Amino acid sequence: MTDADPVDSGRERAFVGYGTHRPKLDDKGRLTIPARFRPGLADGVVVCGWFTNTLSVFPEDEFDALVRKVRPTANLSERHMAFFRLLVSGAEVQQLDSQGRVSIPASQRNYAGLDKDCVVNGLGERLEVWNAEAWDRYSAENLPVFSEMEGTSLGIEF
């Protein structure tokens, strides 16, 4: 979302955090959100399917802003409409429980291939939830890309 985006103009983005953690799903499908991420999620969260068969956990206001931004694109093509429908219809609005957990519905666990071992990555304004084995594969496959990238190829000066 850019500074020029009218949906976000004047709106401060929520900060959830950075880093990688490896919590486990409990027998009821609940995921404990690492304590360092909880302050940015205290006002409610939305858990939804995301790219690369992962889940995202957004602060509710961030997800609302995303929906407002994506909604106008839904009419561009059937593919855009499918993305919008699946994003919104699969989203679960929740509050963290007293132990900082969210319930991951069976449909979302199946989509992301979640079992006991999970990886939760803080990506600034949202979290990404991976099956631990899938994250380890993805990370190993992309580490050479990361190592070879130069700041200038990203348009960044270090």
Residues 142, 45 contacting (CB under 8 angstroms)? no
Task: Give the pLDDT mean for 35-60.
Answer: 95
**Angle at alpha carbon of residue 128, lines to 127 and 133, rounded to 5°:** 145
Alpha helices in the chain (DSSP H): 60-70, 78-89, 106-112, 132-148
Place of tokens 């059937």: 78
pTM of the model: 0.85
Q: End-to-end distance of the chain based on CA atoms, in angstroms?
A: 23
Instruction: Put the strands of the sheet holding 127-131 in their side by side order.
Output: 17-21, 118-124, 127-131, 54-59, 45-50, 92-94
Question: Is pLDDT at 112 greater than 50 in this prediction?
Answer: yes
Task: Give the pLDDT mean for 147-151.
Answer: 69
CA dist 37 and 25 (Å) reads 17
pLDDT interval class at 6 (50, 70, 90): very low
Contacts of 8 (CB under 8 A, 6+ apart): 1, 2, 65, 69
Task: Give the pLDDT mean for 11-33.
Answer: 91
**Beta-carbon neighbour count of residue 158 at 10 Å?**
6
- Which range has the worst mean pLDDT, 42-46, 58-62, 143-147? 143-147
pLDDT score of 78: 95
